[in-house]
């Protein structure tokens, strides 16, 4: 069953990456706050990068979850995170046109597959939003409103697993940040890194291991 789920996940993720390609290329053009980045940021999304990323992550999710009800919301999250990751790398934005409908889609997906967990996911979304709003108020230079809204979306999809997922995001973002500071000294502190890709990676960690990490911690 897990093998079939992995194949299904790879197919869905690959198709999601294929659909994401024109979204990543065209959607930022309609957002006035988009910031053009160096050429390498555009280079890394050349086909078939998005398709491969979507297929690999989708296969991992399918292998982990199997053909169970949570697989549907999990693969939908993968489809949304692929374009968000590459848009944030290339333009330093997380478009409302993906994040806000994505939040509603996450809650709707759980309302369909397991209505008993809908309240958990709604509360997790609200708590993740509140935590990131607080961080944005305390340190506005390091936390954008796009990150705040992505936290809302991740909470809607992950439920309680959003906590270890976001913790993983901060841990993952610390690695390149420390490396930059070591290499450039104080000047490295002025090098901005988009946090969206790390949040996306944390979201995948939440899907794969969030519940297990919570159980281990408790």
Question: Over its length of 218 residues, how does the chain's per-residue pLDDT go in tens digits?
Answer: 689 999 999 999 999 999 999 999 889 888 877 766 677 777 888 899 999 999 999 999 999 999 999 999 999 999 999 999 999 998 899 999 999 999 999 999 999 999 999 999 999 999 999 999 999 999 887 788 999 999 999 999 999 999 999 999 999 999 988 877 777 666 555 556 899 999 999 999 999 999 999 999 98
pLDDT of residue 140: 81
- For the chain, the residue count is 218
pLDDT of residue 1: 67
pLDDT of residue 87: 95
Provide the whole-model pTM.
0.95
Alpha-carbon gap, residue 118 to 100, rounded angstroms: 17
Sign of the torsion formed by the C-alpha atoms of 36, 39, 40 and 46 = positive
Say if CB 23 and CB 54 are below 8 A apart: no
Question: For the chain, how many structural domains are there in total?
Answer: 1
pLDDT of residue 148: 97
Q: Which domain holds residue 110?
A: 2-217
Say if CB 16 and CB 78 are below 8 A apart: yes
* Cβ contacts of 29-32, under 8 Å, gap ≥ 24: 30/97, 31/91, 31/93, 31/95
Alpha-carbon gap, residue 140 to 133, rounded angstroms: 9
Buried b (16+ CB within 10 A) or exposed e, 70-80: bbbbbbbbbbb
pLDDT of residue 196: 96
């Amino acid at each position: 069953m897990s093998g079939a789920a992995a194949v299904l996940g790879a197919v869905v993720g690959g198709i999601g990456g294929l659909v994401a390609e024109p979204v990543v290329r065209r959607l930022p053009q309609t957002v006035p706050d988009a910031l053009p980045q160096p050429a390498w940021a555009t280079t890394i999304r050349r086909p078939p990068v998005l398709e491969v990323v979507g297929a690999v992550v989708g296969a991992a999710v399918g292998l982990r979850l199997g053909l169970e009800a949570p697989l549907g919301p999990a693969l939908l999250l993968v489809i949304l995170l692929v374009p968000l990751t590459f848009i944030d790398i290339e333009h330093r934005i997380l478009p409302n046109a993906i994040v806000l409908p994505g939040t509603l889609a996450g809650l709707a997906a759980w309302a369909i597959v397991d209505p008993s967990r809908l309240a958990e996911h709604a509360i997790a979304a609200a708590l993740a939003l509140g935590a990131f709003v607080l961080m944005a108020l305390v340190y506005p230079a390091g936390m954008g409103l796009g990150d705040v809204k992505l936290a809302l979306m991740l909470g809607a999809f992950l439920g309680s697993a959003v906590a270890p997922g976001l913790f993983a995001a901060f841990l993952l973002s610390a690695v390149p940040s420390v490396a930059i500071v070591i290499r450039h000294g104080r000047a490295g502190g002025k090098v901005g890194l988009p946090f969206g890709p790390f949040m996306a990676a944390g979201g995948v960690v939440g899907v794969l291991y969030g519940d297990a990490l919570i159980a281990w911690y408790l």
